[in-house]
């Protein structure tokens, strides 16, 4: 399976072009450029949202994607929708009917205003305008931000629920993550979560490698025998002796569920006779692994792919021999989740490999590992 490669565009310039869906007949270059425009806009919108919520800002300056000081945006104050639209110089009804050139001008002006003088009013106006974008990725980021600056209303939920059904994996994952932040998940997200499996004992013992998925991904195939990443890992690194069963957890988006799944993982490792396995985990599958170490599980190599960094979910480092952290820059799903973009510890050496931009799922694609020579660094 291939993955989409994005290029960052300075946010002050990214909004001068309307992010559009991929059109029929578009060349690969045109399609890639449109995708990069949308992803860059979404990244800036989510960074602004993170500032409003007081999340930890990116730990480094990225020359390709410079961000203003967004910590000044932190507030508990909400803006009325009419006020946000007034900031744009239009009514809410007029905003929905705006032509693309006018929308470009409005969003560019407000985005640059956020750089010049960050304010909750400017942020709210930017989110309202973004929800009218023809590209669902931008609309999702706008809706997620509007939820925090104005109020939750049917239009926000409708935008997110529609996007959650998208065939575009990044759009769908981002929408599901946003929905999980606004209350009861509803039938769309519920279909992505499974009942907690039971751990069953087996006689054969081995020290081997295990692969697991992230949130809302238990029904995926990439991490299981016959799946893209599992088969590639088995082929590229036969020395790891990949376990013939992958670890499957609920995929639920809650601390309570992850703690329960961590206990399941601890028991599953023992029941499978794995000893101290290598563990490959995508996204919050890494959180489940970390919590499992606090319950007694031990891992030789812990390979994290796009883990949302939260200090409260750091592992018991004494129960892990080696950590390899693989991620993209400005991961959109991690931005929305509120996690930091880099995993660092004063007490443990973490091997860091960062390649590409924005796409949360690319780190478990075999083509991504091929392109960046990752099979040889683990």
Average pLDDT along the chain, 378 residues, taken 10 residues at a time: 87 82 50 88 96 79 91 88 91 81 87 94 95 94 96 93 93 93 65 70 69 95 97 95 94 93 96 93 98 97 97 96 97 94 91 97 97 96
What pTM, to 2 d.p., does this model score? 0.92
Q: What is the pLDDT of residue 29?
A: 46
135: which DSSP letter? Answer: S
Q: Which tokens belong to 153? A: 């209303």
**Residues 84 and 131 sit within 8 Å (Cβ to Cβ):** no
* Strand blocks (E) in the chain: 209-212, 278-282, 299-305, 320-329, 350-357
Q: Which CATH architecture has domain 209-376?
A: 3-Layer(aba) Sandwich (3.40)
Q: What is the pLDDT of residue 16?
A: 86
Backbone phi and psi for residue 188, each to the nearest 5 degrees, phi listed first: -65, -50
Element (H, E) at 271: helix 255-271
Intervals of CATH 3.40.50.1820 along the chain: 209-376
**Residues 133 and 139 sit within 8 Å (Cβ to Cβ):** yes
CA proximity to 140, closest of 121, 116, 122, 159: 159
Put the strands of the sheet holding 278-282 in their side by side order: 209-212, 278-282, 299-305, 320-329, 350-357
Cβ atoms within 10 Å of 25's Cβ, excluding its own: 6
Q: Which tokens belong to 350? A: 């973490």
169: helix, coil or strand?
helix
Which residues face 279 on adjacent strands? 210, 302
């Amino acid at each position: 399976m291939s993955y989409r490669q994005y290029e960052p565009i300075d946010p002050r310039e990214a909004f001068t072009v309307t992010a559009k869906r991929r059109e029929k007949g578009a060349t690969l270059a045109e399609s890639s450029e449109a995708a990069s425009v949308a992803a860059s806009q979404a990244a800036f919108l989510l960074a602004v949202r993170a500032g409003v919520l007081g999340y930890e800002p990116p730990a480094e300056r990225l020359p390709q994607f410079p961000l203003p000081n967004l910590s000044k945006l932190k507030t508990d104050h909400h803006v009325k929708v009419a006020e946000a639209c007034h900031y744009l110089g239009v009514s809410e009804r007029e905003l929905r009917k705006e032509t693309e050139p006018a929308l470009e001008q409005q969003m560019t002006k407000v985005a640059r205003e956020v750089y010049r003088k960050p304010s909750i009013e400017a942020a709210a106006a930017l989110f309202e305008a973004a929800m009218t974008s023809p590209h669902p990725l931008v609309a999702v980021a706008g809706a997620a931000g509007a939820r925090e600056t104005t109020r939750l209303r049917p239009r926000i939920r409708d935008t997110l629920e529609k996007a959650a059904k998208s065939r575009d994996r990044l759009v769908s994952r981002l929408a599901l993550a946003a929905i999980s932040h606004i209350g009861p998940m509803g039938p769309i997200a519920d279909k992505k979560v499974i009942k907690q499996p039971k751990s069953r004992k087996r006689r054969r013992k081995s020290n081997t490698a295990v692969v697991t998925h992230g949130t809302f991904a238990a029904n995926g195939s990439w991490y299981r025998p016959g799946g893209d990443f599992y088969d590639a890992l088995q082929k590229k690194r036969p020395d790891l002796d990949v376990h013939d069963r992958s670890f499957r957890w609920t995929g639920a988006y809650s601390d309570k569920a992850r703690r329960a799944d961590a206990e399941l993982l601890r028991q599953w490792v023992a029941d499978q006779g794995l000893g101290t396995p290598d563990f490959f985990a995508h996204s919050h599958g890494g959180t489940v692994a970390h919590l499992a170490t606090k319950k007694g599980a031990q891992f030789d190599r812990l390979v994290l792919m796009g883990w949302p960094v939260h200090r409260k979910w750091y592992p018991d480092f004494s129960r892990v021999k080696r950590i390899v952290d693989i991620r993209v820059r400005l991961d959109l799903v991690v931005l929305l989740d509120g996690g930091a973009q880099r995993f660092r510890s004063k007490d443990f050496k973490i091997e860091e490999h960062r390649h590409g931009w924005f796409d949360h799922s690319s780190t478990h694609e075999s083509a991504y590992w091929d392109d960046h020579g990752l099979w040889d660094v683990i």
